[in-house]
Structure 1
C-alpha cells in the first residue's frame, strides 16, 4: 500500500515506516471505495446505468484515485451518450495514473478517429439546437433535430427522453411509448424514463376507454363469412333523397376544394419553404456552435489537466524532500559533512511532517557550521592553488547561506575568484558587499580599487 502522506510503499503495515502516518483509517476508506465500485460494476452488468453512476460517484467520493471506478464511470457515460463527461473522467484518470491505465486506450481510440470526434461535436450541437427550439415553442423543428441526433448517436439517453416528451405534448402517445422503450433498453432503471412511460400508459388507457364508448353506438351481425358493422339507428333512404345527397356532396366537395384544400396546399408549400430556410440557417449556426463548443471543451480539459498536474507536482516535491532528508541523515552519520549539507539544501522543510521537521532541524544545527567551515577551507585552498572554478563553487554555497561568514572573507575570495577567472561582472556585487559592510578594512580598499577600475 502506498502511503498517502509521503508516498512510500508501506506494504501491510498499519503505520507508514517512513513518516509514521496512521494508515488504518485510510485502508477502511479504500475498502469502502472498492465496495461501491463493485456495486456499480454489478449494476452496470444488468444495464442499471443510473444506479451504477450513483455507486461509482460514491466510490470516487471516498477515493478519487480509484482509477478503475473512474474508467468504468466514463464507459457508462459513453454508453448513455454523454461523451463529454466520459472524456473528462478518462482525462482525470490518466493524470492520476500515467502507466498501465485503460483510459489511455479509450482516449486514443476516440482522438485518432476524426470522424468519431466530428460525430460527437455534431450530436452535441444539434441537441443544444433542439433545446433552443423547445424554448422558442418550435416543437416540430425540435423533433427534426432530435431525430438527427438519434440517427448519429442512438444511445443518447437525454435525446430519447426529450423526443418522447415532445411526442407526449403532441399527443402522439404510441410514438412516445416506442421511444421510451428504446431508452429503457439503454438504461433499465432510469427514473425519468420510467416516469414518462407511466404517464404515456395512463394517457393511452384513457384514449382506449373513449374509443370503447363510441363503439357502443354500433351493431354488428354475420352475413355468410363477412361481419357487417352499422349504426344502431339506420334508416333506408329513397332514390330521390339519395340523388339530393349526391348533389349536396358534389357542391360541398367543390367548396372544400376551393376554400380549404387549395389554400392548404399553398400554405404547405410556404411552410416547407420556411422549414428549408430554417434548416439552412441552422446549418450555419451549427458550424459556429461547433467551433465554440470545441474551444470550451479544450479549455475545460486543460484546466483539469493543470489541476491534476499541480497535485502530482506537490506529491513529487514532498517525496523529494523526504528522500533528501534521508540522504542527509545517512551521509551525516557516515561523517561526510559536505554531502550532508548538499542533501539538506535540496530539502523543502515545509513539505515535511512535524516529526520529520524535528529530525531536519537536529541535523541542520549540527551540519551547518561544519559544512560552512569545510566549504570555506576547500574553497580557499582551491583559490590559493589557482583552481578558481572549484573555489567559486564552494564559496558560492557559503555566501548563499551566510554572506557575512568569517567577516566577509568568503564573499571577498569569491569576488577574487570570479575576477581572476575573467568574470568581472559576477565579482562586482561581492566587492560592493565588502565595501558597504566592511568599509575600514584593507579588503574594502582593494575591492574599491577593482570596482573603480571596472567603471
Structure 2
C-alpha cells in the first residue's frame, strides 16, 4: 500500500514514514475495498455472480482505482453475457492504469476477433427487438428472437430469464423450467431467477401440474406388499393387416413428398442461396454500422467521465491559486505595499472563497483599491509620456478592468491612445467608441470620434502631428492637463 500524498510504501504505523501524513483512515478504506474484493472472489468461485457483482461495486465505491476489482467485475459481467458492461469496466481500468494492465489484453482479444464483435452487436439488437415484441404483447415473436439470442450467447442470464418468463406466461411450464435452470446454472444466487422459479412452482401447483412427472421414464404400482417398477411403454400391439396398411400409406406419402416438396425445393435452392447471401451481406453491413455507433457512444461517455474528473482537478487547483494570491495580497497590504497588494487581488477569484476569506478579501480590497488605482494611473501615464505604449496600455487596462469610469474617463481615453500608438487598431477602436458613448460633448469625445473616422478610411498614422498635442492639450470641459503630479487630476 502506498501513501496517497507522496507515494511512499506504508508500513503498519498510522503515519507515512516519508511525509508524516496521517494515513489511518486511508488504510482502513483501502483494507475495506480489498475485503469486498476478496469476498467477491469467494462468491465468483461458487458461481454466485450476482453476489460477486454486488461485492465488487462496494469495493469500487471505497476505491475506484482498485484495478483488480474492476477487472474482475468486467470478467463477471462477461460471464453473465453482459458484454457491453464488461467492456466499459475494462476501458475505465485501462484509463486508470495504461501499463501492465490485463484489461488491455481482454480488450485486444475482443477487438481482434471481428466475428465476436459482430456476434455481440447482433445479440444486443435481437435482445432489444425481443423486448419490443414483449411490450407489443407479441410473445411468440419474442420467444423466437430470444432463441436466436441464446444460440449466439448461451451465457446471457437476462435472455434465459426473459425466455423463462415468457414460457411461464404462456403456460408452458416445462420449457420455462428448462430456461430458468440454465440461468440458475450460470448464476446460482440470482434473485430474479430464484423469484421466477418460485413463481413457476406456485403456478404449477395451482394448475395441478407436477413438473417432475413430465419427464418420468418409469411407472410404479403395488402388488400386495411389493412395489413393481417397470419402464413406460409407448408401443401398442397391432395386427399384421394394419401393419401392411401403415407401410403402404407410408410409401404413398413418401412418393407424394418427393414429387411435391423435394423436387421443387431443389429447383429453388439456387435462388434461395443467392437471396440469403444478399440478406447476409446487408445484415453484416448494418451490424458493422451499428457496432461502430455503439462503441463510439461508449467512448464518448468514458471521455466525458475523464473530462469531469479533469475539471474537478482544475477547480481544486484554481482554489489553491486563489488562496495563495489572497495571502500574498494580505502580506503586501500589511507591509504597506499597496501596489503589490492590488496586483495580487486582481488575480483572486472571489467565487472560490469561503465566508471568512471573503470578508478578508473585501476589507483589503476596499483599502487598497483607491491608492492602487491612483498609483497604477500615475505609473501608466509616465510610461505613456516616455513613449512606452505597450506597458502603458497594460497599466491603463488594469484600471479599466477595475473601474471603467476612473478619473472621469481619462484612463479610458489614454488606454485607447496607447493601443493606437502601439498599432493595435482593433482595441483602440473599441475604447475610442466607449469614450464617445460615455463622455459626449468633451474634447476627448471629439478626438476619439476623429480617430474613429480615420479608422474608417485608412489606418491612423502613429506619427500624426496631432499626437504630440494630445499630451499637453487642456480639455476645455475640465481644465485638466497631462503635466500634473497625477496626470489628468487637478
TM-score by length of 2: 0.63
Secondary structure class of the residue paired with 2:423: coil
Structure 2 CA distance for partners of 1:229 and 1:371, relative to 1, 3 Å: closer
**Shift in Å, 1:50:** 0.4
Structure 2 CA distance for partners of 1:441 and 1:30, relative to 1, 3 Å: farther
Task: Decide whether the 8 Å contact of 1:338 with 1:374 is kept in 2.
Answer: yes
Query: Take 2:304 and 2:366, find their aligned partners in 1: how far apart are those partners?
Result: 38
Partner residue of 2:112?
113
Partner residue of 2:471?
none
**Shift in Å, 1:292:** 3.3
Counting helix residues as a fraction of each chain, which structure ranks higher? 1
Query: Take 1:156 and 1:289, find their aligned partners in 2: how far apart are those partners?
Result: 19
Partner residue of 1:249?
243
**Shift in Å, 1:395:** 1.3
Task: Decide whether the 8 Å contact of 1:94 with 1:104 is kept in 2.
Answer: yes
Task: Decide whether the 8 Å contact of 2:393 with 2:415 is kept in 1.
Answer: yes
Query: Take 2:257 and 2:210, find their aligned partners in 1: how far apart are those partners?
Result: 34
**Shift in Å, 1:409:** 2.1
- Give CA deviations for 1:311-369 in whole Å, capped at 9, x if unaligned: 54144224313322213313541456556545544443223333343343344334433
Structure 2 CA distance for partners of 1:161 and 1:386, relative to 1, 3 Å: same
> Among residues 311, 328, 331, which one is paired with 1:330 in the alignment?
328
Partner residue of 1:396?
397
Structure 2 CA distance for partners of 1:101 and 1:326, relative to 1, 3 Å: farther
**Shift in Å, 1:393:** 1.6
- Give CA deviations for 1:88-135 in whole Å, capped at 9, x if unaligned: 34455667x577795973675367535253343244345456667884
> Among residues 146, 152, 171, which one is paired with 1:149 in the alignment?
152
Task: Decide whether the 8 Å contact of 1:126 with 1:149 is kept in 2.
Answer: no
Q: Paired residues, what number? A: 412
**Shift in Å, 1:416:** 1.2
Partner residue of 1:211?
218
Structure 2 CA distance for partners of 1:251 and 1:113, relative to 1, 3 Å: closer
Unaligned runs of 5+ in 1: 4-11, 14-22, 217-227, 236-241
Query: Take 1:45 and 1:360, find their aligned partners in 2: how far apart are those partners?
Result: 60
Structure 2 CA distance for partners of 1:308 and 1:369, relative to 1, 3 Å: farther
Structure 2 CA distance for partners of 1:325 and 1:191, relative to 1, 3 Å: closer
For residues 312-327 of structure 1, the aligned pairs below 5 Å read 312-327=310-325
Partner residue of 1:47?
47
For residues 73-84 of structure 1, the aligned pairs below 5 Å read 73-84=73-84
- Give CA deviations for 1:241-266 in whole Å, capped at 9, x if unaligned: x9xx4344212321244358845996
Partner residue of 1:223?
none
Partner residue of 1:423?
424
Aligned pair 1:354/2:347, yes or no? no
Unaligned runs of 5+ in 2: 6-13, 16-22, 224-229, 457-490
Task: Decide whether the 8 Å contact of 1:329 with 1:363 is kept in 2.
Answer: no
**Shift in Å, 1:82:** 0.7
Query: Take 1:265 and 1:32, find their aligned partners in 2: how far apart are those partners?
Result: 74
Partner residue of 2:124?
124
Partner residue of 2:189?
189
Deviates more, 1:396-405 or 1:204-213: 204-213
Secondary structure class of the residue paired with 1:212: strand
Task: Decide whether the 8 Å contact of 2:37 with 2:56 is kept in 1.
Answer: yes
Aligned pair 1:385/2:386, yes or no? yes
Query: Take 1:108 and 1:263, find their aligned partners in 2: how far apart are those partners?
Result: 52
- Give CA deviations for 1:28-54 in whole Å, capped at 9, x if unaligned: 999877765554454334432101222
For residues 270-285 of structure 1, the aligned pairs below 5 Å read 284-285=282-283
Structure 2 CA distance for partners of 1:157 and 1:305, relative to 1, 3 Å: same
